[in-house]
Structure 1
């Protein structure tokens, strides 16, 4: 471990498993090599062991921000993760329950998100999380709301999916939710040619992968693709050879859930996933991702601007 270089960003790597959380802070030296600065970990308490994987990661961020508050206040901190689920939870504009309390605590820091370029630091964090330390300051490390909102043992999530295909690319939309206080909505752009059937399977598999990444154990799937739904429940046979790898992989993924249901949904009940898929297929952007926020407005922009002018004049 070494002392951090002043005014140089810190990189935060998370590690979680079924019994512990941990966080490793690193910083790039003059040669661009990541050097470890500080590592913390602790065992999960009873209620916390029932959190979803993405929620345990959020808990690890809050724990790190409390234990290493002096670093978070003095430096720009980059959360390094490849997890779409974690990024989605942290970027949701409206949440309630414990995650909203955690996000409120984190809003005081200059916390940003990036994708890790090297695996060394993440591997170190994962290894050290296997050996959680004893709590050094139990009264101060309790995160508000973490016990009162304990997960039920059998918590069923709902997944909706849809795919959109164009001549040169495709789009995938996935919505995962449980009640109103938890929800993940993601859009993916596929920069390779996809048939209508292929892109539906891409969407279905993407949703299953994200659900498993989040730690979901009980899943109900709703979609408007007759082909995917009917092949999943066995009422349609597989006739297209190019779909065989998709069907084989979906069967492996479905078996990973403790309970699994899949049903056909009318298209008008799948509009959110459909819109996300259309967005992914049509949008053009540089880099590997783009952040898009959709806000609801209940009156014309004219009325909004009139009110703003009245406030300025008053």
Structure 2
């Protein structure tokens, strides 16, 4: 899934492209009818994409976008100091649990042109082209609140060089074991979805 959000003057839009097996391509555009920042628009794109994937019954998803900030925040490699961004990040992490496997990767803008075109078309309120699913969203997916400030900012966790990193995933997949540290446990639970055990061997 490719995602992007666009802010043009006072209008905001979202673009999504799903590449499914057998070469099937599904394109979505969402017109957002509320004030939004550029980063919030990209979060709305990501959230809309996850919700659409869940409705389609997709259980394994490779997500690609050109927003380094959004991807770093969701992957816990960057902190957030804005309550709205924290709320969006929390919402995305909650939706992640609906998938068996999910990866989020940053790509250069020129590799995300198809979704950029859709997002700009949605934000400029252009007529909807044929074979594109279009919808309207009239309120934000999340609301910032003081409680969001209580969320932990997840630091980068340095692996212990004396511990085989594979054992953490093996223990999680085979014994459903998680570290006692909550931050490390969340990170391991996410990354473990990209691995599978086959006859005692760990594969990504």
TM-score bucket (shorter structure): 0.5 to 0.7
Q: 1:207 — aligned with what?
A: 49
Q: 2:63 — aligned with what?
A: 221
User: Which of residues 292, 296, 301 is equivalent to 2:129?
Assistant: 292
Question: Contact 2:8 / 2:120 at 8 angstroms: preserved in 1?
Answer: no
Aligned pair count? 131
Aligned equivalents of 1:180 and 1:276: distance in 2? 23
Aligned equivalents of 1:201 and 1:234: distance in 2? 15
User: How much has 1:270 moved relative to structure 2?
Assistant: 0.3
Aligned equivalents of 1:180 and 1:282: distance in 2? 32
Listed as ranges, the gaps of 5+ residues in structure 2 are 132-204
SS in 1 for 2:36: coil
Aligned equivalents of 1:242 and 1:165: distance in 2? 17
Q: 1:291 to 1:281 in 2, by over 3 A?
A: closer
Q: Which has the larger radius of gyration?
A: 1
User: How much has 1:180 moved relative to structure 2?
Assistant: 4.6
Question: Contact 1:167 / 1:193 at 8 angstroms: preserved in 2?
Answer: no
User: How much has 1:291 moved relative to structure 2?
Assistant: 4.2
Question: Contact 2:13 / 2:123 at 8 angstroms: preserved in 1?
Answer: yes
Q: 1:194 — aligned with what?
A: 36
Q: TM-score when scaled to structure 1?
A: 0.40
Q: TM-score when scaled to structure 2?
A: 0.61
1:245 correspondence with 2:82: no
Aligned equivalents of 2:104 and 2:10: distance in 1? 30
Q: 1:259 — aligned with what?
A: 101
Partner deviation per Cα, 1:155-175 (whole Å, 9 max, x = no partner): xxxx10000012322000001
Question: Contact 1:168 / 1:191 at 8 angstroms: preserved in 2?
Answer: no
Of 236-245 and 265-274, more deviation after overlay is shown by: 236-245
Relative contact order: is structure 1 or structure 2 higher (C-alpha 8 Å, sep ≥ 6)?
2
Listed as ranges, the gaps of 5+ residues in structure 1 are 1-158, 285-289, 295-314
Aligned equivalents of 1:195 and 1:188: distance in 2? 15
Aligned equivalents of 2:85 and 2:46: distance in 1? 13
Partner deviation per Cα, 1:142-189 (whole Å, 9 max, x = no partner): xxxxxxxxxxxxxxxxx1000001232200000111245322101111
Q: CA RMSD in A?
A: 1.5
1:181 correspondence with 2:23: yes
1:2-41 matches, cutoff 5 A: none
User: How much has 1:228 moved relative to structure 2?
Assistant: 0.9
